A and B are shown apart, each in its own frame.
Chain A
């Protein structure tokens, strides 16, 4: 059954599958490298920045409530997802546990603020407050990124 054609075919299939297997291997083991932790916190900072733009629209009465609500819900879900991802993963470098803990807290804070925006998408006062607090949350996330990359004072 295992003639040269079958052998060649098997080798071809292996050659095709191996790069894909290698590409996906690092994501399957559940360990969070320093780079991945860094990227996760950077994406929290990006979510907070985007949330500020949405909240800014609410604060200036320059948006549509349906848009603000749907955007706040989507961004909030992303922040929540990021929090869960960070909390569940095993750290490759255990000395970054404090930063991971802080990042999970910031993610929860961002998700909570966006949830508030989702509840009051037409309230300018809430919009302004959420915008302010999201800016603070972004600063915290940026500070964690600085610590992780060794740029913190």
Chain B
């Protein structure tokens, strides 16, 4: 009974921790610009992250090796270094965007200068990491993120034309560059590399073994699957309210407007609170992911469970990444723009992250009975094909569409 309860808590945390600033921005913009037409791309991304998170968690639980260890093992030092540089760049941009997101939400709640809240938010994160154990950090942000269930209630309240909504789940290919840019953005926002870096290293932080494989599968498939409902709801809520009015959501605060429209101040506060926990959790995940990757690549002692004394370089690098994130967030660039760039650049780094995971998870000599079965192999390769195509298209689309600005 206790084990079931523990698994349920993990799933709930995965649901609440599913969204980050990239999901919030891209799904809301996708709804405003294309109404429900990109719902299929959201589902495509959610299934993709569930497939690869399950694989990376399984590899970590069975072999005791997190994703970046596997990357270096499979790709060798040279390509591993390329993967490290690419993923560190993307993780840093993501961290800066999440810190900026924290500051914007705090500004909307308390109306004080943005720059002050970037620092305040980062200090609060350091305090939370110092005070809570690893599992506690995950749950703190995961449960808080559940406040965003208000988006689902908003959709129910809006009562859109469900036929139109259902039609959005059928893939349609519009030839416009802007549409394709948002397909890439919505898909990539769900599959940000830091998510699997953090997920697999987290499995080791929590001491997972073969006995946790069921928990891993439920977290990845059920937790992320239900978490994906929040992304779907954001597209619908935004498409319902913003699309007919011609609103272009270029600010994080706009994400909360549909909830204010449905439930007044209560809806607004729940939405802003949920957003705060989501971007806060993602700031922790992306900063940890950057430090995990560096430490694992260089063979340092790593892990929150080790504490600063036993893993001093890991802890120091985490603080350095946080300071760099603060510096970028304070640079005056709009965090929403940083988010768009981090999501699109992440697509380019995706093949380097996911190919080694796919190869090692399917390697029977390494994973024995826990290697990928037929379903995981098929889905894994299908998704890898999609990732490669999108990686090739991402930068040209970014330039042609002026980062979605048309």
Query: What is A's interface to B at a CB cutoff of 8 Å?
Result: 19-20, 23, 39, 42-43, 45-46, 49-50, 52-54, 56-57, 60, 62-67, 69-71, 74-75, 78
Q: Are B246 and A46 in contact (CB under 8 A)?
A: yes
Q: B111 touches which one: A39, A70, A78 (CB < 8 A)?
A: A70
Residues of A within 8 A of B269 (CB): 64
Q: B406 touches which one: A39, A52, A69, A75 (CB < 8 A)?
A: A39
Q: Please report the C-alpha to C-alpha distance between residue A15 and residue B253 in the assembled complex, in whole angstroms.
A: 40
Q: Are A67 and B254 in contact (CB under 8 A)?
A: no
Q: Are A50 and B254 in contact (CB under 8 A)?
A: yes
- 1/0 per residue, CB under 8 A from A, across B121-161: the answer is 00000000000000000000000000000000000000000
Q: Are A67 and B264 in contact (CB under 8 A)?
A: no
Residue B261 lies at the interface, judged by CB distance under 8 Å to chain A: yes
The SS class assigned to the A binding surface is helix
- 1/0 per residue, CB under 8 A from A, across B158-196: the answer is 000000000000000000000000000000000000000
Q: Are A64 and B109 in contact (CB under 8 A)?
A: yes
Number of interface residues of B (CB under 8 A): 28
Q: A43-B248, A70-B108 are in contact. Are A63 and B260 (CB under 8 A)?
A: yes
Q: Are A63 and B264 in contact (CB under 8 A)?
A: yes
Q: A19-B399, A23-B400, A64-B265 are in contact. List 6 more A-B contacts (CB 8 A).
A: A39-B406, A43-B248, A49-B246, A56-B261, A67-B253, A75-B251
Q: Are B250 and A78 in contact (CB under 8 A)?
A: yes
Q: Are B107 and A70 in contact (CB under 8 A)?
A: yes
Q: Are A54 and B257 in contact (CB under 8 A)?
A: yes
Q: Please report the C-alpha to C-alpha distance between residue A20 and residue B399 in the assembled complex, in whole angstroms.
A: 8
- 1/0 per residue, CB under 8 A from A, across B247-288: the answer is 111110110110011001100110010000000000000000
Q: Smallest CB-CB separation from B250: which chain A residue?
A: A78
Query: What is B's interface to A at a CB cutoff of 8 Å?
Result: 107-111, 241, 245-251, 253-254, 256-257, 260-261, 264-265, 268-269, 272, 399-400, 405-406
Q: A49-B245, A53-B247, A71-B253 are in contact. Are A66 and B260 (CB under 8 A)?
A: no
Residues of A within 8 A of B264 (CB): 57, 60, 62-63
Q: Are A45 and B246 in contact (CB under 8 A)?
A: yes
Residues of A within 8 A of B110 (CB): 66
Q: Are B248 and A46 in contact (CB under 8 A)?
A: yes
Q: Are B247 and A74 in contact (CB under 8 A)?
A: no
User: Nearest Cβ in chain A — how far from B65, in angstroms?
Assistant: 35
- For A56, A57, A67, which residue has the most chain B Cβ atoms within 10 angstroms? A67
User: Nearest Cβ in chain B — how far from A120, in angstroms?
Assistant: 14
Residues of A within 8 A of B108 (CB): 64, 66-67, 70-71
Q: Please report the C-alpha to C-alpha distance between residue A63 and residue B260 in the assembled complex, in whole angstroms.
A: 7
Q: Smallest CB-CB separation from A54: which chain B residue?
A: B257
Residues of B within 8 A of A23 (CB): 399-400
Q: Please report the C-alpha to C-alpha distance between residue A50 and residue B247 in the assembled complex, in whole angstroms.
A: 6
User: Nearest Cβ in chain B — how far from A44, in angstroms?
Assistant: 11
Q: Please report the C-alpha to C-alpha distance between residue A46 and residue B405 in the assembled complex, in whole angstroms.
A: 13
Q: Are B253 and A74 in contact (CB under 8 A)?
A: yes
Residues of A within 8 A of B111 (CB): 65-66, 69-70
Q: Please report the C-alpha to C-alpha distance between residue A112 and residue B246 in the assembled complex, in whole angstroms.
A: 21
